[in-house]
Amino acid sequence: MDAIGWLIFLAALVVSVMLHETGHFVTAKRFGMKCTQYFFGFGPTLWSFKRGETEYGFKAIPAGGFVKIVGMTSLDEVDPEDEARSFRRAPGWQRVIVLAAGSFMHFLLAAVLIFGLALTIGIENDNTTQLGTVATCVPTSAQALNNGAACTSGEAKSPAVIAGLKVGDEVTSFNGTAVSNWTQLSNAILKVKPGTPVALTVERDGHSVTLHTALAEVPGHGSYFGIAPTVTLQRQGPVDAVKYVGTGFSQTVTGTASALGQVPAALPNLFSPNRSKTAAGNLSSVVGAAQATGDAVAAKVGWEYKVNFVLLLIAELNIFWGIFNLFPLLPLDGGHIAVVIWERLRAWFARLRGYRDPGPVDYRRVVPVMFSVFAVIVVFTLVVIVADIVNPVNFG
């Protein structure tokens, strides 16, 4: 099952890469630019065919893909008869659209996956009073609680165990107050001081049962019961599915910004034994994502939960790739967009001063920066890949 998960992820990766290139290809064609190659991979050609003026095929190194558009920069040599159809001769707005189309395809794929998932399988809901976890002991600290540390000998039994609660019980009232969701129940628990006796009523096998216990205390956290809700999947209507797409994008963008901000602190912990509990646990390569997909497919849960995890993971990765490609750094698409914007601003200022258009930016001046950024990206990617191989993150 792990192998099937890897194959699913690799297939999704190929689709994502080629959709990205398709965005560039279709918009370039639409604006009349000449595209001579459309390939998956790099290096020697394994197989290809030519249709019209474009060669399609596969290269030996499956590390991405590319579309070759004539005259992408001022450094490219272009036959005189093709110059009018070169990328560099197109209006600035057309070039920006072509460059941004790759990221747009990532965003579109992610939106379709999230929307379809919400409509068909449903989204996870843990705001229920049905119990999915009954802890056996009281954590010794808030850190142990947050990290899900295993119980050790000598730790006190949890109030949930003392009360006799079981996984699957549905709590209907707490201390005489009816509760219908986890937010209400957890808020009610936190309001009670540790050591205070409490009573709760649960539905179990069609019967109402009232149980008694006293709350424990976790230093740095407060009152502790030792229960957690079960996670269910709920289908959404079209309007709520659209809202969920917005939520998914918002959470991924926020998470991406947070993860990038933690990169300096994360790097030293990539190979530490407790990587998962540090900022390095939020950094992962395609190897880590493939491993997470394999683990999800092999997990002993219903197929709906597997599909939910895998599709959301693929959607989140596409959102990340789309955002990352728009960073204003060469050789990323965002770097080329920045060059086009600077070129047009320069032309605008020249017109204001009565001068002629300076023309395309001289890429010879930016090539050293481009190679430096590319080298940093490659080295960083390789380091994270090695970390994911020798010290993988447990995604649960």
- 225 contacts 193 by C-beta, under 8 angstroms: no
21 is catalytic: yes
pLDDT at residue 395 in the model: 57
Q: Tell me, which fold does domain 131-230 have in CATH? A: Pdz3 Domain (2.30.42)
* Cα–Cα dist 283/290, whole Å: 14
Angstrom distance (rounded) from CA 50 to CA 57? 9
The active-site residue out of 21, 53, 203, 316 is: 21
- The confidence score (pLDDT) of residue 301 equals 74
Q: Can you tell me the distance from the alpha carbon of 177 to that of 28, in angstroms, rounded to the nearest whole number?
A: 64
The confidence score (pLDDT) of residue 44 equals: 92
Q: Which residues of the chain have pLDDT under 70?
A: 1, 147-149, 394-396
pLDDT of residue 54: 94
The confidence score (pLDDT) of residue 149 equals 67
Q: What letter represents residue 378's amino acid?
A: V
The pLDDT value recorded for residue 102 is: 95
Structure tokens given for 147? 């990290």
pLDDT at 246: 92
Strand duo 177-178 + 170-174: pairing: antiparallel
Where do the structural domains in the chain lie, given as residue ranges? 1-34+70-123+236-396, 131-230
Q: For residue 147, what pLDDT is reported? A: 65
Instruction: Specify which residues 197 forms β-bridges with.
Output: 214
**Residue 44 φ then ψ, to 5°:** -65, 145
Phi, psi of 210 (to 5 degrees): -105, 130
Instruction: Report helix, strand or coil for 181.
Output: coil
Q: Quick one: pLDDT at residue 1?
A: 57
Which uninterrupted H or E stretch holds 291? helix 286-298
The Cα–Cα gap between 183 and 204 comes to 21
- Cβ proximity of 183 and 229 under 8 Å: no
The token pair that represents 45 in the structure block: 């050609």
